[in-house]
Amino acid sequence: MSAYTLRWGIIATGKISGQFAKDLLVDPSTREVSDVAHKITAVGSRSTESAQKFIDGLKNAGKGDAWSWGVENGVLDQVKAHGTYDGVYQDSNVDAIYVGTPHNLHFQNTKDALLAGKHVLCEKPFTIDIEELEELVTIAKEKNLFLMEAVWTRFHPIAYAVDEVLKSGKLGKPKRFAADFSMEYDLDSKPDSNRFIDPALGGGSLLDMGPYPSVWAMLLVHRNPHNKDKNPKVVSSYQSIYKRSGVDLNSRWIVEWDGLCHGQLLTDLSSAGLQEATAVLQCSEGDLIIEYPPYKPETFHIVPRPARDLGAIKEKTTHHVPVHSGNHGMSYEADEVARCIRDGKTESDRMPWEESKVVQRWLDDVRKNGPSSTKDMKGNAGQ
């Protein structure tokens, strides 16, 4: 069977778009994929020069760069530079759009792309609020188009390895959960226009980093075979403030899965995270601990409970499950998009709309009940 090739249009030429594009250029066989492949057929920026510069940067891959494979094997052969995002939405050589703009633009860019008849993979956080997300899902349904939030971590080999542990039942029932994404970002050295600092761009730790403790909450607790609560809610939250612009420096919140357990989630721009425990699921028979960083962990441990409460797990085991060499880790979500579109699906079973909505409601809840300058930020749904 020959591979199905998805033709991508990339919107915006910032940091993460560059990383995503490079992963599209890596040889799929390096990650044992042969059923789908990728082409980049268009790049859109606010100027043609910057779109062209982005393409030239990709074409100038060095011999040792894993993405030089794509340059040499035709992945960029038909690529066109557009000086507007709309040019990419209208490009007949594009099947799917990758949206890599700042948070506050995700809704409008995704909406415009869907209305132009394109499938969309949109960076996290999906939208500014749940109303925006509901509208995007409605449009995708009406137009029978694929739509997914780019939570790349869900598709990493370690995420599937952890699923197997949970499915085996050996950990028993979840009793408690905690996850943290923290880093020392040095906000003071950055300009007011930095997207972590500017409230108008959805600045602060919550919207940018919140999807990462959430990804483990969703994979370890929400999708756990023991969970029956489809709409777990935030029961308490706290934010501290970065005074210069009023955005949240850190956010903490507690989620309760009714009838199962609660979880503490944390994002922080002022402190480093814990290397050996970025996410912890405590269960009746033993605990599962995932190492930092939460967006791309490569090691997890299964650990016995303390002696006085010992369960069936009697020995610590360590499991190293890295992404395949040469892949940064975004190629896996791109493969998922290609497979879903090939199969005529509008959403991914691995990253379904309902689960994006659960997390979006948590982020809304923490933001709207906190003291930050993004508290009253409204999305553009209905406009």
Given candidates 14, 117, 246, 304, which one binds ligand NAP under the rule CB under 6 A? Answer: 14
Residue in this structure with the two tokens 């749940």, named with its chain if needed: 130
Residue 354 identity: E
Applying CB under 6 A, which part among 32-40, 99-107, 220-228, 270-278 lies near ligand NAP? 99-107
Among the listed ranges 12-20, 240-248, 257-265, 307-315, the one in contact with ligand NAP (CB under 6 A) is: 12-20
Interface map 103-122 toward ligand NAP (x if CB under 6 A): x-x-----------------
- Residue span 207-246 as binding mask against ligand NAP, x where in contact by CB under 6 A, dash where not: -x--------------------------------------
Site string for ligand NAP, 121-140 (x = CB under 6 A): --xx----------------
Q: Between 248 and 287, name the residue whose CB sits nearer to ligand NAP.
A: 248
Query: What is d(CA 372, CA 202) in angstroms, rounded to the nearest whole number?
Result: 11
Contact between 327 and ligand NAP by CB under 6 A: the answer reads no
Which residue from 87, 102, 232, 263 is in contact with ligand NAP, where contact means CB under 6 A? 102
Near ligand NAP in 150-169, by CB under 6 A: 150, 152
* One character per residue 262-301, x = contact with ligand NAP (rule: CB under 6 A): ---------------------------------x------
CB of 10 to ligand NAP, least distance (A): 9
Residue with tokens 């998922």: 336
Residue closer to ligand NAP, measured from CB, 109 or 224: 109
User: Which of residues 3, 16, 277, 312 is near ligand NAP by CB under 6 A?
Assistant: 16
Per the listing, tokens 């290609």 go with: 338
Q: CB of residue 289 vs ligand NAP: minimum separation in angstroms? A: 22
Amino acid sitting at position 144: N
Nearest to 2 by CA among 28, 21, 30: 28
Question: Please, what is the minimum distance in Å from the beta carbon of residue 148 to ligand NAP?
Answer: 12
Tell me the site size for ligand NAP, rule CB under 6 A.
21
Residue 15 binds ligand NAP, judged by CB under 6 A:
yes
Binding mask 50-79 for ligand NAP (x = CB under 6 A): x-----------------------------
Gap between the Cα atoms of 358 and 378, Å rounded: 18
**How far apart, in Å, are the Cα atoms of 244 and each of 189, 210, 250?**
12, 21, 14
Within residues 31-50, the interface with ligand NAP by CB under 6 A covers 45-46, 50
Which backbone phi and psi does 372 adopt, to 5 degrees? -80, 165
What is the nearest approach in angstroms of ligand NAP to the Cβ of residue 342? 23
Length of the chain: 383
Site of interaction with ligand NAP (CB under 6 A)? 12-17, 45-46, 50, 100-103, 105, 123-124, 150, 152, 195, 208, 295
